[in-house]
A and B are shown apart, each in its own frame.
Chain A
Amino acid sequence: MAQYLTRNALDPAQRELQTALRAGAYLGFKQALSLPPQEVVAEIDASGLRGRGGAGFPTGRKWSFIHAKEGQTVYLLCNADESEPGTFKDHYLIERDPHLVLEGVAIGAYAIGAHRAYIYMRGEYASLAETLAAALREAMAADIIGPNCMNSGYDLRITIQLGAGAYICGEETGLIQSLEGRRAYPRVRPPFPAVHGFLQEPTVVNNVETLACAARIMAEGAEAFKDHGTGRSAGTKLISVSGAVERPGVYEVELGYPLMEFLQGEAGGIRGGRGLKAIIPGGTSVPVLTAEEAAPLTIDYESMQSAGTMLGSGGMIVFGDDTSMPQALLRIAEFYAHESCGECTPCREGTGWMAWVLRRLLAGEGRPGDLGLLLRVGDNIEGRTICGLGDASVQPVRSFIRKFRPEFEALLPEPVQAVAWQSHGHGPRTGRFGPPAEEATRSEAVDGPPTAAL
């Protein structure tokens, strides 16, 4: 287990400014302030840091897209809306080392020429917002953040904003919309946030962990960062591991660390001594791996990509061999149906449709073509939506069905029933224009508890 980002996180007193300062907090910010902003960008670029929120886009490049014109206000938005199922690393970082997060925000803002920064936190993290706000008050009282940060002449105002419960606010344009007081409907790109972002001004949105890494990099240099990890996957990664493991939690690992070693070591192995059935390595939005596929992999962007999945947010969800994969998939599909913002057609209708078909399969009312239908619906969502939620919703459906097909096929009706259904399907549809069926039956199913569970 690596000790780069989290080396101070175990000390409960790290939340207090004096302790944090003794551990080197804000040295990176100080270093940054001594350089022109473009050199800060260059340093981050040189470190090879890639966004830790899920997409893995190079951070230095993202920062370099900001070219503010006269009279424009540049914004740095820190994405602390951590909502990807199975992901709680930012939760950990903010709770344990809030000054590291604030320092990262300050550095990011300075690098892109922003004097305004928001930390947008999911509404469920209200208690963490208090921790972070207390840290911010201390840093402001010590003149580290505020007007004339550390006597450098650089002004920065950081505001913490809480959301109110919507996964889509973690999507960068959804976050911007939410912060503007709109329904968090993602925006079509172009224009990109770097050109027209928050309040139409140039904006960068960075994940909490990404900015925390930037703080370390500025304090200790790009080279020290690259000492960790592999060539294209520099640095360490916070892995939130949960599900059927003995020791769920947040662990910092070197990128390139063997997956099985992590699972058996840090994570303590499969709960109850059972066997491993599957792993989702980076939040529910990435394809699942079978135990076999997972065995040779290492925890880094390239290795995961070679296996057809992604490191994503580092939210690792582990399935024991007693899991019903169709049941688990239904739970995931219901999540996407519930969280689809409803703005664009394929995601709005497709996520609900997939959950609906899975629900009827598990209720014993499946139809012969249902697996094909699920895959086809997924194909019609993927690549055709405004934001990534649509694609994300397809990954679990497609990978679960492909990799655990026998479990799904077992839910299908016997062939005899198939013939009966088909004749129904093509037969006369009386009542097609009759009065509406019972009100909102599907609404209950989506909003209420999973029927099979309660």
Chain B
Amino acid sequence: MLSKDALREIEAARAEEDSPRHALLTALRVTQGERRQVGPEEITYIADLLGLSPALVQGVARFYDQISATPTGQHVLSLCRGISCYLCGADEVAAAVGELLGIRPGETTADGRFTLRLVECVGDCDRAPAAMVDDRFVGPVAAVAIDNLTKM
């Protein structure tokens, strides 16, 4: 299910400590990165890999915002709705981006390229309204052509 690199990364995390559970956070991140979701199939796989119960893996997976139960698009466009970004017009930006992509937050474009998310403060408030494309900070969104965001 996972690439050799991914397995190597999980194995490295596992080697850090005696407790295999410690590698779970890394396993979830790596799996999300490769599979774009951590659904039941991935959960079962990780559970087997680390010798944990699937319920336990699911409980941890469903705790984190960046681990999704259903597949995301090729890219995740995260628009910050933190208080600082709110004060800098994040709501208007979110509405505009949503209209442009033709989807609502939480949805993925029909072509499967973008999943739009509204997220809590991402810690990039000096570039408000802040946004991320996958792991890259791309704010302030008002300053770049919104069009450009979706052409990346």
Q: How far is the CA of A198 from the CA of B24 in the complex (A)?
A: 15
Q: How far is the CB of A159 from chain B (nearest CB, A)?
A: 6
Q: Does A248 contact B (CB under 8 A)?
A: yes
Residue of A nearest to B95 (CB): A454
- Residues of B near A115 (CB, < 8 A) are none
Which B residues are in CB contact (< 8 Å) with A124? 66, 78, 119, 122-123, 132, 135
Q: Is B113 an interface residue (CB 8 A)?
A: no
A11 within 8 A of B: no
Determine whether B151 belongs to the interface, using a CB cutoff of 8 Å to chain A.
Answer: no
**Given A161-B13, A162-B29, A331-B83, list of 12 further CB < 8 A pairs?**
A123-B64, A124-B78, A166-B63, A181-B19, A183-B59, A184-B63, A243-B84, A243-B128, A244-B87, A248-B125, A449-B118, A454-B95
What residues of chain A lie closer than 8 Å to B122, measured between beta carbons?
124
Chain A residues, Cβ within 8 Å of B24: 181
| Residue B75 CB within 8 A of the other chain | no
CB neighbors of B among A278-335 (8 A): 280, 284, 315, 317-320, 323, 328, 331-332, 335
- Any B CB within 8 A of the CB of A423: no
A236 within 8 A of B: no
Beta-carbon nearest neighbor of A396 in chain B? B83
A85 touches B82 (CB 8 A): yes
**B43, CB-defined interface residue at 8 Å:** no
A225-249 vs B: 1/0 string, CB under 8 Å? 0000000000000001111100011
Known contacts A164-B32, A183-B59, A243-B84, A122 near B125 by CB under 8 Å:
no
Q: For the complex, is B126 an interface residue (Cβ under 8 Å from A)?
A: yes
Q: Who on chain A is nearest to B85 by CB?
A: A242
Contact of B81 among A84, A167, A241, A331 (CB under 8 A): A331
Q: Map CB proximity to A onto B5-17 as digits: 1 under 8 Å, 0 otherwise.
A: 0000000010011
Q: Are B64 and A166 in contact (CB under 8 A)?
A: yes
Contacts of B132 in A (CB 8 A): 124
A85 with B121: in contact, given A164-B64, A181-B19 (CB under 8 Å)? Answer: yes
Contact of A250 with B95 in the complex, beta carbons under 8 Å: no
Closest-by-CB residue of A relative to B105 is A449
Across the interface, which residues of B come within 8 angstroms of A450, CB to CB?
Answer: 81, 91
- B69 sits at the interface (CB 8 A): no
Contact B67 A453 (CB under 8 A): no
CB distance from B117 to the nearest CB of A (A): 10
B60 touches A87 (CB 8 A): no
Chain B positions within 8 Å of A, measured between CB atoms, are 13, 16-19, 21-26, 28-29, 32, 59-60, 63-67, 78, 81-84, 86-88, 91, 94-95, 98, 104-106, 118-128, 132, 135-137
Q: Are A88 and B66 in contact (CB under 8 A)?
A: no
Bound form: Cα–Cα A179–B95 in Å: 36
Contact call A82/B22, Cβ cutoff below 8 A: no
Interface members, chain A 154-183 (any B CB < 8 Å): 159, 161-167, 178-183
A242 CA to B83 CA, complexed, in Å? 9
Question: In whole angstroms, what is the CA distance A342 to B50 when docked?
Answer: 26
A246 to chain B, nearest CB (A): 11
Q: A248-B125, A450-B91 are in contact. Are A85 and B83 (CB under 8 A)?
A: yes
Query: How far is the CB of B25 from the nearest CB of chain A, in Å?
Result: 6
- Complex interface: chain B residues within 8 A of A199 (CB): 17-19, 22
The answer for the CA separation of A315 and B118 in the assembled complex, in Å, is 21
Give the chain A neighbours of B123 by CB distance below 8 A: 82-83, 87-88, 90-91, 122, 124-125
Contact call A248/B128, Cβ cutoff below 8 A: yes
Most B-side CB within 10 Å, residue of A85, A159, A166, A317: A85
Q: Which chain B residues lie closer than 8 Å to A71 at the CB level? A: none
> Once the chains bind, are A182 and B60 in contact (CB under 8 Å)?
yes
27 A-B pairs within 8 Å (CB atoms) are namely A83-B120, A83-B121, A85-B83, A85-B120, A86-B84, A123-B64, A124-B78, A124-B132, A127-B137, A164-B67, A165-B64, A165-B65, A165-B119, A166-B64, A180-B21, A181-B22, A182-B21, A183-B60, A242-B126, A248-B126, A280-B83, A284-B83, A323-B87, A331-B83, A449-B105, A449-B118, A454-B95
Choice from A159, A164, A167, A315 contacting B28 with Cβ under 8 Å: A164
Question: In chain B, what residue has the closest Cβ to A240?
Answer: B125
B119 to chain A, nearest CB (A): 8
CA distance A165 to B25 in the complex (A): 11
Asked whether A126 is an interface residue with its Cβ less than 8 Å from the other chain, the reply is yes
A365 lies within 8 A of chain B by Cβ: no
Contact A250 B64, CB 8 Å, known A339-B120, A449-B81: no
Nearest A residue to B26, CB-CB: A161
Q: Does A62 contact B (CB under 8 A)?
A: no
Q: How far is the CB of A132 from chain B (nearest CB, A)?
A: 14
CB distance from A247 to the nearest CB of B (A): 8
Known: A161-B26, A243-B87, A448-B105. A167 touches B128 (CB 8 A): no
